[in-house]
Protein backbone atom coordinates (compact mmCIF):
# COMPACT_ATOMS: atom_id res chain seq x y z
CA UNK A 1 0.00 0.00 0.00
CA UNK A 2 1.18 3.49 -0.83
CA UNK A 3 1.21 6.13 1.92
CA UNK A 4 0.66 8.83 -0.72
CA UNK A 5 -2.75 7.35 -1.44
CA UNK A 6 -4.12 7.81 2.09
CA UNK A 7 -6.47 10.79 2.26
CA UNK A 8 -6.76 12.92 5.42
CA UNK A 9 -10.29 11.52 5.96
CA UNK A 10 -9.00 7.93 6.21
CA UNK A 11 -9.98 6.82 2.71
CA UNK A 12 -7.37 4.73 0.93
CA UNK A 13 -7.50 6.01 -2.65
CA UNK A 14 -5.95 2.80 -3.97
CA UNK A 15 -9.31 1.05 -3.39
CA UNK A 16 -11.41 3.82 -4.96
CA UNK A 17 -13.21 2.93 -8.18
CA UNK A 18 -12.41 6.39 -9.61
CA UNK A 19 -8.72 5.94 -8.82
CA UNK A 20 -8.73 2.44 -10.34
CA UNK A 21 -10.44 3.90 -13.42
CA UNK A 22 -13.42 1.60 -13.03
CA UNK A 23 -15.68 4.68 -12.88
CA UNK A 24 -15.43 7.97 -14.70
CA UNK A 25 -14.09 10.52 -14.46
CA UNK A 26 -10.82 9.08 -13.23
CA UNK A 27 -9.07 10.53 -10.20
CA UNK A 28 -5.37 10.60 -9.32
CA UNK A 29 -5.91 10.44 -5.56
CA UNK A 30 -6.49 13.08 -2.90
CA UNK A 31 -2.85 13.88 -2.32
CA UNK A 32 -2.17 14.39 -6.00
CA UNK A 33 -4.94 16.90 -6.61
CA UNK A 34 -4.50 18.61 -3.21
CA UNK A 35 -8.13 18.39 -2.13
CA UNK A 36 -9.71 19.41 -5.44
CA UNK A 37 -11.17 16.17 -6.87
CA UNK A 38 -13.47 16.05 -9.88
CA UNK A 39 -16.52 16.60 -7.66
CA UNK A 40 -15.29 19.92 -6.19
CA UNK A 41 -13.31 21.07 -3.18
CA UNK A 42 -12.87 18.64 -0.29
CA UNK A 43 -13.50 20.57 2.91
CA UNK A 44 -11.82 17.86 4.98
CA UNK A 45 -8.59 18.13 2.99
CA UNK A 46 -8.69 21.92 3.36
CA UNK A 47 -9.35 21.65 7.10
CA UNK A 48 -6.49 19.16 7.65
CA UNK A 49 -4.18 21.46 5.68
CA UNK A 50 -5.31 24.47 7.72
CA UNK A 51 -4.73 22.56 10.98
CA UNK A 52 -1.35 21.35 9.65
CA UNK A 53 -2.09 17.66 10.29
CA UNK A 54 -1.38 14.69 8.03
CA UNK A 55 -4.82 13.23 8.73
CA UNK A 56 -7.95 14.13 10.65
CA UNK A 57 -7.14 11.66 13.44
CA UNK A 58 -4.22 13.89 14.50
CA UNK A 59 -6.43 16.98 14.91
CA UNK A 60 -7.29 18.10 18.44
CA UNK A 61 -10.90 18.72 17.30
CA UNK A 62 -11.36 15.16 15.97
CA UNK A 63 -13.97 13.82 15.53
CA UNK A 64 -15.85 16.98 14.63
CA UNK A 65 -19.17 17.82 13.01
CA UNK A 66 -17.40 18.71 9.75
CA UNK A 67 -15.89 15.22 9.58
CA UNK A 68 -19.01 13.27 10.50
CA UNK A 69 -21.29 15.48 8.39
CA UNK A 70 -19.03 15.16 5.36
CA UNK A 71 -20.30 11.65 4.67
CA UNK A 72 -24.04 12.35 4.91
CA UNK A 73 -25.60 11.39 1.62
CA UNK A 74 -22.27 10.84 -0.14
CA UNK A 75 -23.18 8.95 -3.32
CA UNK A 76 -20.16 6.65 -3.27
CA UNK A 77 -20.01 6.19 0.48
CA UNK A 78 -20.92 2.66 1.52
CA UNK A 79 -23.36 3.73 4.20
CA UNK A 80 -22.86 7.43 4.86
CA UNK A 81 -22.82 7.93 8.62
CA UNK A 82 -21.75 4.34 9.32
CA UNK A 83 -18.80 4.94 7.03
CA UNK A 84 -17.93 8.09 8.98
CA UNK A 85 -17.92 6.18 12.28
CA UNK A 86 -15.72 3.45 10.77
CA UNK A 87 -13.31 6.13 9.55
CA UNK A 88 -13.23 7.70 13.02
CA UNK A 89 -12.12 4.37 14.43
CA UNK A 90 -9.56 3.78 11.69
CA UNK A 91 -8.03 7.24 12.10
CA UNK A 92 -7.87 6.85 15.89
CA UNK A 93 -6.15 3.50 15.31
CA UNK A 94 -3.72 5.12 12.84
CA UNK A 95 -2.94 7.92 15.29
CA UNK A 96 -2.19 5.45 18.08
CA UNK A 97 -0.40 2.68 16.15
CA UNK A 98 1.03 4.34 13.05
CA UNK A 99 0.42 4.17 9.33
CA UNK A 100 1.78 0.64 8.78
CA UNK A 101 -0.64 -0.91 11.30
CA UNK A 102 -3.41 1.22 9.79
CA UNK A 103 -2.57 -0.24 6.35
CA UNK A 104 -2.83 -3.76 7.77
CA UNK A 105 -6.26 -3.03 9.26
CA UNK A 106 -7.59 -1.34 6.10
CA UNK A 107 -6.40 -4.28 3.98
CA UNK A 108 -8.01 -6.76 6.38
CA UNK A 109 -11.32 -4.86 6.28
CA UNK A 110 -11.22 -4.65 2.49
CA UNK A 111 -10.54 -8.38 2.21
CA UNK A 112 -13.52 -9.12 4.51
CA UNK A 113 -15.74 -6.80 2.46
CA UNK A 114 -14.86 -8.60 -0.77
CA UNK A 115 -15.67 -12.08 0.52
CA UNK A 116 -18.90 -13.56 -0.85
In the chain, the N- to C-terminal Cα span, in Å, equals: 23
Per-residue H/E/C for 82-116: HHHHHHHHHHHHHHHHCHHHHHHHHHHHHHHHHCC
Cα torsion through 18, 9, 88, 63, rounded to 10: -150
pLDDT at 97: 94
- How far apart, in whole angstroms, are the C-alpha atoms of residue 3 and residue 98? 11
Q: Where are the domains of the chain?
A: 3-114
pLDDT classification of 94: cutoffs 50, 70, 90: very high
pTM, two decimals, is: 0.76
Tens of pLDDT, residues 52-79: 999 999 999 999 989 888 877 655 545 6
- Least confident residue range of 10-24, 39-53, 76-90: 76-90
Residue 82 pLDDT exceeds 90? no
Amino acid sequence: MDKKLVAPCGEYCGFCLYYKKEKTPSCSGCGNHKGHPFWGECKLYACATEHKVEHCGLCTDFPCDLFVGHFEGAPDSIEGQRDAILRVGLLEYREKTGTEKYFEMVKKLKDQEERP
